[in-house]
Structure formats: structure tokens, C-alpha cells
Chain A
């Protein structure tokens, strides 16, 4: 059953250089209990997509299209109505646990807030539930930690608190935007394992947003690769990563030094020439044209067609055959 349906979502930001079309015509469906990853570099629109779904776009931005959660278009909701969706039906975990927690309130109070607001609990009930949640996210001595302030916790523990807040009302959908980017690798692994186990146990759906291909490849069932505000490649994670077909996805993959690569030392990394295009001044046609090795005149006037290359595996490119052949021969 479809939980979240995003149809033709576009996000536009008003800037001094004119409107920046940060997300363009993005569509995807997320089934109940499934996990979706969105991967891309800074400025690709992955975070704005998440913010648009949650109705948290900055004041200079607006969204067009439809974001349907359980049959209702969230983009039509008023701010008051969205306040009852956020934290209740959609849980959120952001990148920087130090800035997303309020330094002046105890973690217990911050976890209880949503439950008191959305579930009508009194303080005693909420406190018991907070202790249960802190235990669930693996914080030792939860009964003592209820009264701790964020600065008394380590980065990993703060992110566990953020997860406890996100889970407090038993949301149907968890949106995690770069949840482990500020953390060390060993802590990152703990947090990702925790999230993975919790969503399986609780039957939640998740959108995981990351710039890290490896994190995405290991933690979600489906993946969308974004570039310059559009989807360039998508499909089941295994199918996409075993058969990368868009020149950008291929470039992104080759640019990462691999730790298990035996030839890694002294080998040159393959780079993607140039930089991400200015969102206020995007080229007509394919957004990747300025940096693509396969570019031809046909790429310039209109956006490339979306081609299915495998079961549910879609690629937006005119030169898939050339890219796939070169990738296979690498």
C-alpha cells in the first residue's frame, strides 16, 4: 500500500539572481514499511525535497505539485495542520544533533514535548514513555538521563535522543537527513544499525538522505540519485549499484576512494570535471550536460527521456547505451 506519494514536486527559491528551481518535477512513491534513499551532492535538492514534504521550506521558497500522505495532499495543509503531521505522522532526524536540540531544555522534556502535544499524555505518563524510548535507542541508565541537558551527552548520544524524539509518537514515516554525517565512523555504524533495526521492528517507512553512496547502498531498499534538482537514476538499490547507468552516478561512484581497493594507492581518482550548475541559471535540457563526457547537441534543448533499463530501474539520459558499455568495460 502506498504511504507517501510525491508527484511532480518542484521547489523554487527566490534569490537575488532570480528564482532558483532547486527541485524539478520529482515523482516517487513510498510503500508502507519500505525504505528509500536519496543520494547526491550539495545543491542537488535532496534536503529541500525532505523539507518540502515536511512543510519546512525556508520563507523564500515554495513547493508545487502534490505530496500525498495517506490520501491527503500535504501541500494544501495550513501551518496549523502541518504541526499535527510533523512529529506525529512524520518523524524527523536532522544532521547536526547539537543544533537541532534545544540547549536550554532537558532531553526528557524535549522527547516528551511531541507526546504531550499529539498524544495528550500527562507529564507522568510522558516521563515513563521517555524512559522507555531512551532505553529503546540504547542510552544507558535512561532514568537518570531524562534530566540531562544536550551538552552533557556525546554526539552519538545526542543523535540517539533525536531518534527517540522522532519515534516518540510512532510515526508512519521517518525522514532522516544526513543523520550520521557529523559522527565518527564507529558511531555512524551504531546509529545506522539502530535506525535499521527500529524501522524493521516498528514497521515504519523511511526516507534516508545522504551524500555517502556507501551509507545509502547498505541501508535502503530503493534509491534515487539526484543531480541539479532532478532525478537522474532510480530503482532497487541492488539493481542500481550493480548496474550504474547514468554518467553522473557512474562518476560519483568512481570519485570515491575505496578502502578495499587493492590498487588504490597511487592510482588517480576519476573526477567529474567542472562544478555543480548554478540553480538560478540552469541549462535547458539535461542538467548534467556541462560536465558529461557523452554530451551531444541532442542533450541541450530538452530534458532527456526516462528509460527503463531493468525491473524498476530508470535512467534519465540520452546516451545510456554508450555509458553502460563504457561502464561494463571499465
Chain B
């Protein structure tokens, strides 16, 4: 925490509890403690991975970091600014510096809009630009993710799953964000396409120095992309450290159980 200048994101003791629907009139409604005190920081140009099984709170954590959920307790700072204290308009403006890629490339792109509009939307919402500028920037990011200029006038259904995920990444990149939060970015993809997208994430980091917060249930994917990893279970980090170390020498029983359950290719 001493090196605050290079810290892109600082998450400090975040708690997120949800209130369940009331079941009877004579008892207080139940609560789900989705996140129970999670802290971490990510330095510029680094990748931080969160692994865990469904229901462990990893997606809620991503949404909290993006400021899409209010916190029960704790704080999330982006470049030293507490995003949950900002007025909505300021947060909106700040969002250009941190963008999100979602899991399902079929559900996250509006089927009635052309690729040009989908990718340009963050710029339209956040900056005053001319049509020509926007078009140039759309083509620029589409090239960066390996798509063609001719793709701008197509609709999402004309693309395969891997290409759609590239479009989602292009949309996240167009505001030139410092941080990309990716929630299961490859789990809906076939392995050969997954490899293309993972390589793309690496290349973009090398080229633009993007910082990643990667959420995944797939330990091998996290190992491939991330410098540092946290293993999450029941709303807390049970173990955290440099990726190689955690994978080579897991300390916590849950991490060990998770690692031993991953099937390996025999032969």
C-alpha cells in the first residue's frame, strides 16, 4: 500500500450482504453474506485473478469493484478515489477508465444494434466526439482485437461466440481504460477459441498496459493470465499470493481440494 501511485484499484475490507425476501411476518428477513471482508490491491499493468466455485461471491465482487452494487461496508478506490462516495455523474465519467467484459457473449450484445453502435456506445455516452472520430476509433479497436473494418455494419448474430467476445472486449477497450474487469470471459467459448481470446488479453496488456481483474472458475485460465491469484470461498479469500506459488504449494485445505479436483489430461 506504500506505492499508491502505481495502484490502480484498492479494495479495502469490502462486505456485501443481501436481504432475502421476507418469508413470514414474525421473523426478520434472512440475509445472504455474499462478501465478508475482502481486501486487495492491483498495480498498474498487472493481472489479479479470483477463483472459486459458483456461489462463492466472486461475481458479486466484480460488480462491487465496478460500482454496480452498493457496499454494506468497506471501500473500493480507483486511482485513489473512493468510487462508492462519488456523485453518480462523476462515477459515470470515471467509468471510462474501468470497463467490464461479461461472461455470455450472446446476452451482453444488443441483437438489434450494429457492431458500430455497440462498440461506440461507451464513447457516445462519455465523450463529445464527432461521427468520424468515433468511426475511426471503432475501427481502431476492432483491429486491435482482430476484427475487420467491414464488420462494423454487421449485427451480433452474424458472428461466432469467439468473435462476439472480441466485440465485447473491443467495447471495453474503446475508452482506453486503465482497468478491465472480466467476469468469466472465456467460459462460454470452445477451447480453440478460448485460446485465441486468452492470447488477445495478454497481447492487449503488453500493448496498452491494461490492468485486469479476472474472475473465473477455471484454475488453468487464471494461472495462464494472472500474476497474482486469490482463492475465494463463502465470501472470503481463503488464500492469496503469486500465482505460481499458490498453484505449486497451496496451503489452505480448500485450495488443495479445488486443485486436486481439476481433471488432468492423462497420457
Contact = CB atoms under 8 A, between A and B. Distances in A.
Interface residues of A, number: 44
Contacts of B53: 184-187
B224 A185 contact: no
B190 A257 contact: no
B195 to A, nearest CB: 4
B267 A257 contact: no
Interface in B90-143: none
Interface stretch (B11-19, B21-29, B167-175, B256-264): B256-264
A41 B191 contact: yes
A192 B192 CA distance: 24
B247 interface: yes
A238 B224 CA distance: 26
Contacts of A240: 267
A252 B261 contact: no
A62 interface: no
Give the secondary structure class of B's interface: helix
A238 B54 CA distance: 32
Interface in B48-101: 53-54
Contacts of B259: 259
A192 B257 CA distance: 16
Contacts of A266: 202
A265 B244 contact: yes
Interface stretch (B36-44, B149-157, B177-185, B214-222): B214-222
Name the interface size band of chain B: 35 or more
Nearest to B51: A185
A252 B194 CA distance: 11
B199 interface: yes
Nearest to B259: A259
Nearest to A212: B263
Contact of A213 (B161, B194, B261, B265): B265
Contacts, number: 114
Nearest to B160: A275
A278 B221 CA distance: 28
B233 to A, nearest CB: 11
Nearest to A272: B192
A270 interface: yes
Contact of A217 (B219, B257, B267): B267
B258 A185 contact: yes
Contacts of A215: 263
Contacts of B224: 257, 264-265, 267, 269
B235 interface: no
A258 B261 contact: no
A144 interface: no
Given A252-B191, A252-B192, A264-B224, A185 B217 contact: yes
A184 B264 contact: no
Contacts of B257: 186
Most buried by A among B192, B194, B224: B192
Nearest to A258: B220
B266 A185 contact: no
Most buried by A among B194, B220, B263: B263
Given A184-B217, A186-B261, A271-B199, A255 B267 contact: no
A217 B265 CA distance: 6
B4 interface: no
Interface string A26-49: 000000000000000110000000
Contact of A255 (B54, B192, B223, B262): B192
8 contacts: A42-B190, A186-B258, A213-B265, A217-B263, A218-B264, A242-B267, A251-B192, A275-B193
Closest 3 CB pairs of A and B: A241-B267, A214-B263, A255-B195
Interface of B: 53-54, 160-163, 190-196, 198-199, 202, 217, 219-221, 223-224, 227, 243-244, 247, 257-259, 261-267
